[in-house]
Structure 1
Amino acid sequence: MRNRYGWLACSLLAPVLAAGFLAVGWLGASTAWAGPSDALRARFQAAIANPGSAAQEDPAELKDYLLYPYLQAARLRSDLRQMPGAVTDARIARFLSRHGGEPVAAELRVAWLLNLAAREQWQTYLATTPQAPDDDLLRCHWLNAKFTLGDTAELQSIALDTWLRGRSLPKACDPVFGWLAQQGALSKDRVLQRIDAALDARQPALVRYLARGLPDALARPFVNAALLQETPTIMLDRLIDSPAAPVAWRWIEQAFDRIARRDSATAMSRYDRLIKARDIRAEQRAMLRRSLALGLAYDRDERALAWFADLPADVRDEQTLEWNARAALYQADWPEVLAVIGRMPATLADTARWRYWRARALERLGQTEQSEALFRALTLERDPYGFFAADRLGVTPDLGPQALPRDASAQAQIMNLAGIQRALELRTVDMDTAAIRELYAAIEDLNPSGRLQTGLLLNRIGWYAPSIALMAESQQWDDLLARFPLPFRERVDAAAKDSGLPPDWVYSVMRAESLYDPNAVSGANAYGLLQLLPTTAREVARRHGLPIPTRDTLKQADVNIPIGSHYLAELNERFDGHFLLVIAAYNAGPYRIPGWLPPREMDADVWIENVPFNETRGYITRVLYNIVIFGWRLNGEPTTLDQLMQPVPARLGESE
């Protein structure tokens, strides 16, 4: 149920005030960001694009600019590349003495340490970094500095702790590791300890490297374990054919689980052969069966229920119970759905998801009064499953928006923080990564109320991604105006009209993809507000006569929104207007959808629950949640889900 949070009266900025971090009076009670002149910003941007040398002089106006340290740092990095030596080292040392604890110094500090190591300036390196860094490369250089200078008093302990990390380490560590070996510190037991750590970290190449120094009889089980991680199916077949081949059972179990999750049929074809080849205990066999049951459920195989039914209670963890229930839903075995939910721990069964499915099962079993009572209770919750419940009852979801109190005085003090001012100015001059670093460094010591007020302040300014993140951190969900803003309105309306989509579709996908951050770049190299892959974006742009984008222009709302909207419309046409398939395809790729279609027409909610990718399943429910609220934001009434939750077809005319 929605929580209604009252305003917590507390000392908002006590830690910051005590530390003397406020530049009181800069903006007074105002929370608008004006900042320096556009001319000064342009001069700074031109200078940092071609920084030159730290030796050059600048006009007083530029020196007084609050981002001038970023220009200084850029020049020092340039000097480090062009003319490393004592003069540059002294300049960097002076800069770090003034700014060492600020985000502006982080990149320069790392660059300087790497340069000092390359020049073997070990005394300066240690003076700059008296404690062993966490970063592997910097730590290796630190160890090498200690070793080269003969400072070995505590070196063995720190070096051994580093060596025992379960991953490959930079070659810079080799001299110190060689010294450890000469000292007799790398005993057989420690080698075995590192091998175990490497196997736990799934570093099979390191395991095989370390095993080369062991007698074959001792090394063979670990080499076999490494091969199970590298090529699980091939190596499992070898171990089935060679029952005496040594390997710890847990690595066989891990490999079998990986195979089952990827391809349950492949795992199924090895199960009987594996248990015949290896003398295993009942609990080990149970874990194999658990892996198979889960794999069959991920593949939506009707045999999954039988395999779940055969599992002993001690391997029925929450993941197993949830997928058991999903398999029962997929097979429309409603009594089994109820039975499995009944076996869930209360903390799981009482979530909105599984209360909804309990109501659905009761509904299908004819227990209408009980099911309606559960559905009505769920409609009081602003949750995807609460919205599903409202759809079942044919009622409008109760959003219950409630604005959070804004503390103008506190926000003015936050705005006066030097780090906040730098963050806002960095964002203004398109240095977004540095802006985020400055923002979170500035609010690190704020208490929860202070961080929440920061989020509300950023909302007013229009910096939505960190604003929404800070409200979520505070678990404040009721301020829907702040959590679901409508930036880029004209562009969204125009793109929606041009592509034939409702604007709430575009906004719902935008919020789910990027939290309104035009500069967002995903790990898969998708860009901008609607997270478009460059190749896909170029193809869509050509088909619709739009300007061909680059990676940089995809970060522009005027480019990204029209292309993303047309791509969404193309998917809508491709999947015959089945909204759930469109959204699943937008997240996971359209080529996956045919394999996810059911053997028979299926209720939309059942299909969503059985989407095999956790990320995509969560994405679909998040977009549906968003679309209900954006309907309210755009039209004054929450979007109802009945037209979007149509049954999922068994097959489509298009097969790709």
Structure 2
Amino acid sequence: MKNYLLAGLLPAFLQVGVAQSLTTGVNAGMNTSMSAGISTGNYLQAKAGIASGDDISLYANLTSDPLYPYVAADFYRKNLDRDSEIIDLFNRFYSAPPVRKLHNKWIVQKFNQGDYATVAKNYFHTGNEDADCAYRAAQYQLGNQQAALDKIYGTWMSPNSVSTLCDPVFAIWPGASNPQYRLKRAIMAYHQGNAGFAITLAERLPYGIEQSTITTFANYLRFPEGLIEATPDSLTSTALARELLPTALAKLIKKDSSQYAPFAMQFVPTLRGNARYQDMLSKLTKYLSKRQDPQAMTAYRLMSKPTSEATEALLTYLVGIRDWSSIRQAVNINNTNPMALYWLGRAQEATGQNGRRAYRKAAGYRSYYGFLAADKIGASYQFTPRLTRPSTRVQQQFNQNSSLRRAKLLARYGDAVAARREILAVAKDMLPARKRQLTYWLGKNGFHFEAIYLLGKMRDWDDIAVRFPTPYNTQVQAANARTGTDSTWIYAIIRQESSMDPNAVSRARAKGLMQLIPSTARHMASDLGLSLYGGAIFDPDINTQLGANYLAKMFGRFNNIAMASAAYNAGPSRVDDWMTRDLDDMTIWVEKIPFNETRKYVKRVLEYQQVYAHHLGQRIPSMTDRLEGRYQAVQ
């Protein structure tokens, strides 16, 4: 049998675990010869055998194993002619993602071979466009036009070109030549930014104002500066032009927000009620605020209902220049954004007014700004948990769910990506109440990243037991003991960096729970006398010690947790550059961090640290003390 590890079929950080599993199997007396068969459940050996060319029949004793569909899918992807076996696999294990992927490939191949009856009989809807079109075209070839055209509108009405396999079906559908449908699709393509396809669709419209308008505005998407050469009246002369203009303006202001802001804002009287125009004004406010352009205030005031993103961008700019009067003009007490309320209170204080009402309202939120506002009025922090009450019946259903059973086994074997795919497929169409129950189950079964992710997608912030779990407590406490770094800070960094995923790898190649760049990890390992063997950077025992040591070094350098956290994210040399201003008020210093990512990062880490102190039953220092350097994060 070909060596599975040497074949490079698993990521490096998983190969250690695979090697250990294979060695365990040998030591337990398992027969490692694939030709002799293997004991049920030895998933890794079966995967290795299939990869080396074994026939699936050698693993007949695995068909009752929850992970058999993964082994079988690997085999049948290379053996698409085993029709009866593949069909049986579909019928038994269709919920497994690799089987659904195999199904799509097999359906298209059978169609290309002209086996239309097999396609029509064995197609399952997966959402895959090629497979869907192959099925429709097969039904058409069999003379079943009704089946071929069933719900065809949803397939055709796409902002992108659709698989050519659907062409013969579209050719017999009257809707494909309907001018109103074509216009609607061209508009969809335009707003999606697909200018070329929008023009192609426009060319199929009857010659007239609609065709020329779509074509003209699609060209503006390609060359936004062309808008400047047109008259405002020509850009708003028809309802269609008014519908298309905001998307082109959004492209224009992205080129140069300061230069083109007056041009973009002149259309308020005509487009005030247009949702896309309001979205453009929100983007304009953000762009101008980032450039510290005073026109940001004008753009913000033109919005009929300012977005939270625009409000926060404008406040970041106004706080940075300490324009308290403009902050008071931009924010009123009815705002529900804790950032807006906190800075309204600060602005009121700075201009001789009482800010307690704004602080009191902001302090009702569990957030960075809510904690700062509570400090201002001496109020207790509001953690406002709304914990999930598990339903015994629903939790038992999850325990028996085949997809979730597979996810648990995949995670055990080190395939976190496949496990996550199973979980997200289960969660996809769940109603919120049941999905919340699922996040509880996920947390109890160690799938913390997935639980946090799903709650975030639901914008459900209040189950803090699930959102702020405390796995790896042994490792965190050991890192605290070795480096002196506060365990709540370690947990806050882990939560922000990886959401408790020990196998996380970022686009910058940062790795593990605390997302360490390999070069930094090597320096910290040398400092602690640790060996970074193979995939050791992913080992929670090692990763937490290396990350905590780096935090300790950053705190030793800056003696401030906000600055040290910023250095952990953006690098200490950048923080050195930022230390030339606003050290008299660290809340303003944080707002003036030039990088959006780092600014948000620091706020979240400080907020999460308070939550973890609450979770772990520790004394909770005030947020103000943390910011102003009166709190020792490293002992």
Q: Which amino acid aligns with 2:449?
A: A
- Quick one: higher RCO (CA 8 Å, sep 6+), 1 or 2? 1
Match in the other structure for 2:372: 388
Q: Say if 2:149 is the partner of 1:167.
A: no
Match in the other structure for 1:141: 134
Note the C-alpha offset of 1:103: 5.0
Structure 2: 5+ residue runs without aligned partners? Answer: 1-23, 29-38, 630-635
SS at match of 1:530: coil
What is the correspondence of 1:256-405 to structure 2 with a 5 Å cutoff?
A: 256-261=249-254, 263-268=256-261, 271=262, 282-283=269-270, 292-305=284-297, 307-308=298-299, 311=301, 314=304, 323=313, 325-342=315-332, 346=334, 349-368=335-354, 371-372=355-356, 375=359, 378-379=362-363, 381-393=365-377, 397=381, 399=383
Q: Is contact 1:510-1:529 (8 Å) kept?
A: yes
Q: Is contact 1:506-1:565 (8 Å) kept?
A: yes
Q: Is contact 2:282-2:303 (8 Å) kept?
A: no
Q: Is contact 2:130-2:165 (8 Å) kept?
A: yes
SS at match of 2:177: coil
Q: 2:419 aligns with which of 420, 435, 451?
A: 435
Please give the alpha-carbon distance, in whole angstroms, between the structure 2 residues aligned to 1:470 and 1:582: 30
Please give the alpha-carbon distance, in whole angstroms, between the structure 2 residues aligned to 1:45 and 1:316: 54
Match in the other structure for 1:192: 183
Note the C-alpha offset of 1:379: 4.5
Q: Which amino acid aligns with 1:624?
A: L
Q: Which amino acid aligns with 1:167?
A: N
Please give the alpha-carbon distance, in whole angstroms, between the structure 1 residues aligned to 2:571 and 2:103: 41
Match in the other structure for 2:20: none
Match in the other structure for 1:23: none
Q: Is contact 1:126-1:142 (8 Å) kept?
A: yes
Note the C-alpha offset of 1:243: 8.3
What is the correspondence of 1:627-646 to structure 2 with a 5 Å cutoff?
A: 627-633=609-615, 636-646=618-628
Please give the alpha-carbon distance, in whole angstroms, between the structure 1 residues aligned to 2:421 and 2:514: 24
Match in the other structure for 1:538: 518
SS at match of 2:145: coil
Q: Which amino acid aligns with 2:490?
A: V
Q: Which amino acid aligns with 1:56?
A: S
Q: Is contact 2:46-2:59 (8 Å) kept?
A: no
1:389–1:300: structure 2 CA closer, same or farther, 3 Å change rule? Answer: same
What is the correspondence of 1:504-515 to structure 2 with a 5 Å cutoff?
A: 504-515=488-499
Match in the other structure for 1:127: 121
SS at match of 1:56: helix
1:503–1:258: structure 2 CA closer, same or farther, 3 Å change rule? Answer: farther
Q: Which amino acid aligns with 2:367?
A: D
Note the C-alpha offset of 1:584: 5.3
Note the C-alpha offset of 1:626: 0.8
Match in the other structure for 1:485: 469
Q: Say if 2:43 is the partner of 1:44.
A: yes
Q: Is contact 1:423-1:436 (8 Å) kept?
A: yes
Match in the other structure for 2:15: none
Please give the alpha-carbon distance, in whole angstroms, between the structure 2 residues aligned to 1:240 and 1:445: 48
Note the C-alpha offset of 1:199: 0.3
1:582–1:252: structure 2 CA closer, same or farther, 3 Å change rule? Answer: farther
Q: Which amino acid aligns with 1:485?
A: P
Q: Is contact 1:471-1:477 (8 Å) kept?
A: no
1:266–1:313: structure 2 CA closer, same or farther, 3 Å change rule? Answer: closer
1:386–1:320: structure 2 CA closer, same or farther, 3 Å change rule? Answer: closer
Q: Which amino acid aligns with 1:629?
A: V
SS at match of 1:517: coil
SS at match of 1:462: coil
1:142–1:442: structure 2 CA closer, same or farther, 3 Å change rule? Answer: closer
Alpha-carbon deviations, 1:55-95, whole Å to 9, x = none? Answer: 523474x4554433432333333xxx2x432xx11101112
Q: 2:407 aligns with which of 405, 423, 428?
A: 423
1:609–1:54: structure 2 CA closer, same or farther, 3 Å change rule? Answer: same
Q: Which amino acid aligns with 1:431?
A: D
Please give the alpha-carbon distance, in whole angstroms, between the structure 2 residues aligned to 1:241 and 1:350: 36
1:203–1:526: structure 2 CA closer, same or farther, 3 Å change rule? Answer: farther
Stretch deviating more after TM superposition (579-588 or 102-111): 579-588
Q: Is contact 1:73-1:104 (8 Å) kept?
A: yes
Q: TM-score when scaled to structure 2? A: 0.72
1:545–1:520: structure 2 CA closer, same or farther, 3 Å change rule? Answer: closer
Q: 1:151 aligns with which of 144, 162, 165?
A: 144
Q: 2:80 aligns with which of 77, 84, 101?
A: 84
Please give the alpha-carbon distance, in whole angstroms, between the structure 2 residues aligned to 1:571 and 1:250: 52
Please give the alpha-carbon distance, in whole angstroms, between the structure 1 residues aligned to 2:128 and 2:461: 35
Please give the alpha-carbon distance, in whole angstroms, between the structure 1 residues aligned to 2:281 and 2:364: 40
Stretch deviating more after TM superposition (238-247 or 583-592): 238-247
Alpha-carbon deviations, 1:529-583, whole Å to 9, x = none? Answer: 2345xxxx23324544666798x76644356545655666777688x45644554
Please give the alpha-carbon distance, in whole angstroms, between the structure 2 residues aligned to 1:379 and 1:242: 49
Q: Is contact 2:315-2:340 (8 Å) kept?
A: no
Match in the other structure for 1:75: 75
Q: Is contact 1:359-1:375 (8 Å) kept?
A: yes
1:94–1:471: structure 2 CA closer, same or farther, 3 Å change rule? Answer: same
Q: Is contact 1:549-1:559 (8 Å) kept?
A: no
1:617–1:255: structure 2 CA closer, same or farther, 3 Å change rule? Answer: farther
1:134–1:338: structure 2 CA closer, same or farther, 3 Å change rule? Answer: same
Match in the other structure for 2:35: none
Q: Is contact 2:504-2:512 (8 Å) kept?
A: yes
SS at match of 1:72: helix
Note the C-alpha offset of 1:516: 0.5
1:55–1:543: structure 2 CA closer, same or farther, 3 Å change rule? Answer: closer
Please give the alpha-carbon distance, in whole angstroms, between the structure 2 residues aligned to 1:587 and 1:226: 40
Alpha-carbon deviations, 1:506-535, whole Å to 9, x = none? Answer: 321211232212234567776542345xxx
Structure 1: 5+ residue runs without aligned partners? Answer: 1-36, 648-656
